Amino acid sequence: MNETTFEIKATGSVVEGVTLPDLDPAEDYKGYRGYSRAVLEATGARVWCEVKATTDQGDFVGILLPRSETADDKHLVMKLTYNGYNVGIKSESIQHIEVLGYRKANYKIPEKEFPKDPVKPNVILLGTGGTIASRLDYRTGAVIPAFSPGELYGAVPELADIANMNTKKIFGEFSENIGPMHWKKVAEAVAAEIETGNVNGVVVGHGTDTMHYTAAALTFMVQNLPCPVVVVGSQRSSDRPSSDAAFNLLRAVKTAAEGDFGEVMVCMYGPTSDSYGLLHRGTRVRKMHSSYRSTFRTLSDTPIARVSQDGFVPIKEEDAFIHRDMSRKPVLNTAFEEKVTLLWYYPNMQADIVDAMVDAGYKGIVIAGTGLGHVNRPLFPALRRAVKAGVHIFMTVQTLWGYVQMYVYDTGRDIMEIGVTPLANMLPEVAYVKLGWVLGQTQEPAEVRRMMTTPVNGEITEREPFDGYLVFQGGLPELEDYFKYHQV
Amino acid sequence: MNGNSGNQTDWKQHGFRCGLEIHHQIHTEKKLFCHCPAGKYSDHYDAEVLRHMRPTLSELGEYDGTALMEFKTKKEIIYRLNRETVCTYEMDDTPPFLINEEAIDIALTIAQAFNCKIVGELHIIRKQYLDGSIPGGFQRTAIVGVDGEFPLSNGKMIHVIQLGLEEDSCREVSDNGHRIVFMADRLSMPLIEVVTECQMETPEEAQEAAMRISRMLRATQMVRRGAGAGRQDVNVSIEGTTRVEIKGVPAISRIAELTDYEAHRQRGLVALSEELQKRGFTPGEKPGRVVELDLNGLRFNNPDLAAAVQVRDSVRVAVFPDAKGILSWPLYGRRFADDISGQVRVVACLDMLPNLLHTDGPSGGLDEADTAMIEKLTDAGAEDVAVVVWGPEEDTVTATNEIIDRYAQAIAGVPNETRQALNNNWNDFERVLPGPDRMYPDTDSPPHEIAPERVEAAKEKVPVAPWVREEMYREQKLPEDIVDLLPITAYAPLHDKLVSEKTVDPMRSGELLARMMTALQRREYPVEALSLDQLEDLLRAMGAGRVYREGLFDLLQHWVDHPQLSLDEMLEHLEWTRVDDTELTAVVKEAIDLAKGEGPRLPENVFAMAMGHAMDIVRGRVASSVVREKMTEMLGL
Ligand SMILES: [Zn+2]
């Protein structure tokens, strides 16, 4: 509420025939505070009113919009009626506001029944909060997610050419808020859907920021998959005509419906062009750019396949990925120890960082070390103390590509002697997820080490192919040539 | 053909209304929302990116029918990227950086040049475009000022609705069938947009208003020069029609002719609508049916149809009942069928012309035998008209749907649309006119407060309106070319100051500052190198009789290459010292001897030749009238 009182000279009026509903200050003054709020209160205008504001700069006719909570208290925002533009009007300049009408925003997407075709495969879309399909509120710019089959059909009608769609919302979280509790729920939902026997594949809609953590968690938590589980999202929301959302969704649904795969994959843009998507193994994929649409990359390995409306083009050899086998039954194991952390080593890191973790009760630490897997000597006593306290410590590389190799230098040998276990070419984030999952099941050091170093699905590979270090994986001519070669 | 000969139509009687949207690139170092350099063009490119534009759901949660159909016929959009001029922002792979402050300052000056009121807070919004010219599918744009005005020469005030600041679109390289290619270097350069009310009541008023806006922009010295820096869209309506926008008017001098043509076209369409309604069709009705021809065994005389049969294209026919005379309905030099053809070209991507043929008279392109065969195959009656298209299956489906839609629109009158200006004053369909609901807030950009001090500082830079200066210069008896040039140069304030001080003759100043400086600029001399102070020194020296106009051009040519020199140093460098009477006498004598030695027979020839020789030596240092006097005296004439 307003603590200061303002002397407002502006007056207000309502044209005849317009009635406003009962005042709901939270909604009707949304985002307005201080002086601006006082102007609204004094003139009787509210958000969503069509008004004529008379100011010392002339008259403005338009709809009064809600204001961003973080914006200042000196302006009113209006969407001008004659041209659709938004402008901010100085609250102090307002002399009179005449309310001409009132129209509240309508945040619903009309549903259209999703057509069912008995000969088409069935795909379930599990929602976690990422917006794949959506419509736009033209007044606020807010994106309103389309999620039910009817809404999806309304937004991306081409889906009906591929599969019969069902949807289930598991929860609605931004990517950065998703953690182990959410991974468990998604894993349970995936297993339950497959067990119904009614689905040919599962699509998980997810925000892109932590999509690769969830893909790794699902790989560990639901094993022995009979069909594809495809995690998908969008880098450009679908309110823009150039969005990647519809293409991603169509490719993911096609993969779930028809793809000859039996593992957890991420399906996102290959190049920044609209030409094809890549299917990345859930344990080898990482978001590598904060905004590019082709942000997901397979590291130290190649993607499994390319996918487009025309079908699949395998990149990996036939025996190098798990194929669809509808007779398999999923095995669910959602154990997770949350007292696990990921430590990104930097030069001159002090021992007290490690001590602090041990004292805080952490049971597992994944280190992302320099080069082949190193930390500096002053850290050794702290690591020794941690191992003695029963903390399980593993080494990965912050180069992201390549293997940990701790025999090459003395430092590495000494670190291993302390009790730090190298994790070959497991990605640091994947190692973090896996360690939580393993420690949820056992705390016995030898068993933890055995489980960590035994791959579930590709998080450690025996060989890195010569082309596992293709940073861009498509979009540049020489890499296109590479993919062309694999297409033959 | 064009019918523009009798340009005597009294447009005021027909309710002619025209509004303008003038776009002009402004002179900033960098682009509007990223840090790429502005104003660098090249045809070289380092990479190509492929995109599609998918229509987004409208406020009602439904796709616009035409938009979705357009998407289904799928245009492949190729962007060519030059490493130097395009970054990941333009490719819609990086969110916008904060808006360019230099651009805001320029926009604030220009807005106030048209007496606009400045908004308290800038809100970036997105304007949707599905034609591919902007990779994101929308243009980022903001209103800087509203509610301004400027006068026409007849005293009428033209209302400026708004002044916007927005990013420029890509340059189109080619558009063939399903593939459109853009060069992305121009993308996101800052533009200002001046929008007037639809207040101009004749084509001539429209042209004058556009010219005044453009000259005011140039007078600020803050806009870019050269081809393509300014672009004009004009809105035209007449009594009984709503506005049609003509985009891409290539030159302001063409506006009168183009709007005149468009108004005539609209009159033709209004008459056509009356005729259709007279025949009993009602707005909202969709007469017409589609027949696909079975091409087996068909032989057409028309070469396009014969070729289509040969390559086994699909051939579809839209048949309209009671339509004789409708397709060939005259539209001021063109026909209704041409309007339909334009729409088929854009929407169905059938862009090899002719892209349709019809049975409504000889302009339809079909001979009697072909007409009879098509009528038979489609069961068309004597009063029916068949419209034939050919090409890939999907495209002919789109095309016939489009033909039926466009025909239905003709019953109601003139459709709201954007049309492309053509070279011959005609225009052709470009797209359906987007409404205000295609604008929505840019959630990537914060609102931007405009401080009052900043508005004031920008106002200081508003130039005197060119039309005000034009009047002043006419009173100074300057010739029209100088009246035209000087007000839009950066030198006008200097001229005004020195003339009002009576330091220099207006003609001498105008010649130097408008004619000579412009001539040098056109020859690509770096005239900006000379400061206003240097030019002031020069004009004062002329006023004081130290430098004469005869040598000015030479002097300037040298000076722009040595702008670090002061006027005195420059004169010394050119060995231009004052000539006293003794020296002048010697020079003139030598010149007369030289001329006589060349053997001219007539005395006046001696005079002319001797004058030339003498001036070669003293040009700029002595007024030619003084030399002439001395010459006359010494030749005893
Ligand atoms: Zn850029």
Q: How far is CA A235 from CA A240, B130, B439, B441, B446, in A?
A: 11, 19, 22, 19, 20
Taking the CB of residue A384, how many other CB atoms lie within 10 A of it? 15
Least confident of B310-319, B390-399, B437-446: B437-446
Give pLDDT, residue B498: 95
The topology (CATH level 3) of A122-332 is Rossmann fold (3.40.50)
3-class SS string, B318-369: EEECCCCCCCCCEECCEEHHHHHHHHHHHHCCCCCCCCCEECCCHHHECCHH
Do the strands B417-421 and B244-249 form a parallel or antiparallel pair, or are they unpaired? parallel
Conformation bin of residue A395: beta by default, left when phi > 0, alpha when psi is -120 to 50: beta
- Asked if the model's pLDDT at residue B73 lies above 70, the reply is no
Q: How far is the CA of B35 from the centre of ligand 1 (A)?
A: 5
Query: What angle separates helix B255-278 from helix B393-412, to the nearest 10 degrees?
Result: 80
Same fold, A122-332 and A340-453: yes
Contact residues on chain B for A155, CB-CB shorter than 8 A? 57
- For chain A positions 290-319, those within 8 Å of chain B (CB to CB) are 291-293
CA dist B135 and B184 (Å) reads 9
- For chain B positions 44-63, those within 8 Å of chain A (CB to CB) are 47, 49-62
Give pLDDT, residue B104: 98
Write out pLDDT tens, residues B525-579: 999 999 999 999 999 988 887 787 777 888 899 899 999 999 988 888 877 767 7
- Could you say which of A86, A135, A271 has the minimum Cβ distance to residue B57? A135
- For chain A positions 66-95, those within 8 Å of chain B (CB to CB) are 68, 70-72, 74-75, 77, 80-90, 93
CB contact under 8 Å between A89 and B122, yes or no, is no
Asked if A58 is an interface residue toward chain B (Cβ–Cβ < 8 A), one would say yes
The topology (CATH level 3) of A11-102 is SH3 type barrels. (2.30.30)
Chain B interface, best mutation among A72, A91, A242, A288, by max B CB count within 10 A: A242
More confidently predicted of A275 and A351: A351
CA dist A373 and B384 (Å) reads 83
Is A219 one of the catalytic residues? no
Write out pLDDT tens, residues B284-299: 999 999 999 998 888 9
- For chain A positions 271-290, those within 8 Å of chain B (CB to CB) are 271-275, 289
The pLDDT-based confidence of B5 (bands split at 50, 70, 90) is: very low
Q: How far is the CA of A400 from the centre of ligand 1 (A)?
A: 29
Taking the CB of residue B35, how many other CB atoms lie within 10 A of it? 11
Strand locations in A129-224 (E)? 133-136, 143-146, 164-169, 201-205, 222-223
CB contact under 8 Å between A58 and B117, yes or no, is yes
Do the interacting molecules here have an ipTM over 0.95? Answer: no
Write out pLDDT tens, residues B152-192: 999 999 999 999 999 999 999 999 888 999 999 999 999 99
Write out pLDDT tens, residues A413-425: 999 999 999 999 9
Spatial contact of A301 and A468, defined as CB atoms under 8 Å apart: yes
pTM attached to this predicted model? 0.87
Share of chain B above pLDDT 90, in %: 66
Spatial contact of A96 and A8, defined as CB atoms under 8 Å apart: no
Cα angle B230-B233-B235, degrees, rounded to a multiple of 5: 155
- Could you say which of B120, B136, B436 has the minimum Cβ distance to residue A83? B436
Asked if B65 is an interface residue toward chain A (Cβ–Cβ < 8 A), one would say no
Class of the domain covering A340-453: alpha beta
Is A209 one of the catalytic residues? yes
Choose the catalytic residue: A209, A260, A355, A414.
A209
- For chain B positions 18-47, those within 8 Å of chain A (CB to CB) are 47
Contact residues on chain A for B131, CB-CB shorter than 8 A? none
What are the beta bridge partners of residue B139?
A: B127
Chain B interface, best mutation among A82, A83, A92, by max B CB count within 10 A: A83
What are the beta bridge partners of residue B326?
A: none
Give pLDDT, residue A2: 47
Q: How many CB pairs under 8 A join A and B?
A: 165
- Give how far B391 is from chain A: nearest CA, Å: 23
- Asked if the model's pLDDT at residue B594 lies above 90, the reply is no
Which of B72, B56, B75 lies closest to B64 in space, CA to CA? B56
DSSP letter for each residue of B563-595: TTS-HHHHHHHTT-----HHHHHHHHHHHHHHH
Write out pLDDT tens, residues A372-397: 999 999 999 999 999 999 999 999 99
Token duo for residue A216: 């790794």
Q: How far is CA B8 from CA A33, B264, B453, in A?
A: 60, 12, 51
- Residues lining ion ligand 1 (Cβ < 5 A) are B 34, 36, 87, 89-90
- Could you say which of A85, A139, A275 has the minimum Cβ distance to residue B143? A85
CA dist A345 and A361 (Å) reads 20
Token duo for residue B599: 């053997």
Cα angle B453-B458-B459, degrees, rounded to a multiple of 5: 95
Give pLDDT, residue B66: 52
Contact residues on chain A for B108, CB-CB shorter than 8 A? none
Give pLDDT, residue B68: 56
Domain locations in chain A as residue ranges: 11-102, 122-332, 340-453
- Give how far B118 is from chain A: nearest CA, Å: 8
- Give how far B137 is from chain A: nearest CA, Å: 5
**What three-state secondary structure class fits A264?**
strand
- B403: Cβ contacts below 8 Å, ≥ 6 apart: B288, B318, B340, B343, B344, B356, B387, B389
Which of B124, B92, B308, B440 lies closest to A143 in space, CA to CA? B440
Token duo for residue A214: 């969830």
Average pLDDT over residues B600-627: 81
Is A287 one of the catalytic residues? yes
CATH of B289-414, one of 3.40.50.970, 3.30.1360.30, 3.40.50.720, 3.30.450.40: 3.30.1360.30
Give pLDDT, residue B60: 44
- B199: Cβ contacts below 8 Å, ≥ 6 apart: B17, B18, B19, B156, B158, B159
Per DSSP, helices labelled H in A334-474 are 351-359, 380-388, 410-418, 428-439, 445-453
Residues of A139-157 as b/e, b for ≥16 C-beta within 10 angstroms? bbbbbbbbbbbbbbbbbbb
Which of A246, A170, A177, A248 lies closest to A210 in space, CA to CA? A177
Write out pLDDT tens, residues A127-163: 998 777 666 665 666 666 777 787 778 778 889 999 9
CA dist A478 and B548 (Å) reads 66
Query: What angle separates helix B532-543 from helix B492-500, to the nearest 10 degrees?
Result: 30
Give pLDDT, residue B4: 43
Domain locations in chain B as residue ranges: 17-237, 289-414, 464-547, 581-635
Taking the CB of residue A12, how many other CB atoms lie within 10 A of it? 18
Torsion of CA A16, A21, A26, A30, to 10 degrees: -40
Q: Which amino acid is at A447?
A: E
CB contact under 8 Å between A291 and B88, yes or no, is yes
CA dist A272 and A417 (Å) reads 46
- For chain A positions 113-152, those within 8 Å of chain B (CB to CB) are 134-142, 146
Average pLDDT over residues A205-224: 96
CA dist B197 and B18 (Å) reads 8
- Could you say which of A60, A75, A272 has the minimum Cβ distance to residue B91? A272
Write out pLDDT tens, residues A472-485: 665 555 455 555 55
What are the beta bridge partners of residue B193?
A: B23, B164
Residue of A nearest to B49 (CA): A273
Q: How far is the CA of B131 from the centre of ligand 1 (A)?
A: 21
Write out pLDDT tens, residues B213-263: 999 999 999 999 888 899 999 999 999 898 899 998 888 999 999 999 999
Give pLDDT, residue B55: 74
- Could you say which of B52, B440, B446 has the minimum Cβ distance to residue A138? B440
In the DSSP assignment, the letter for residue B438 is G
- Could you say which of B54, B195, B447 has the minimum Cβ distance to residue A71? B447
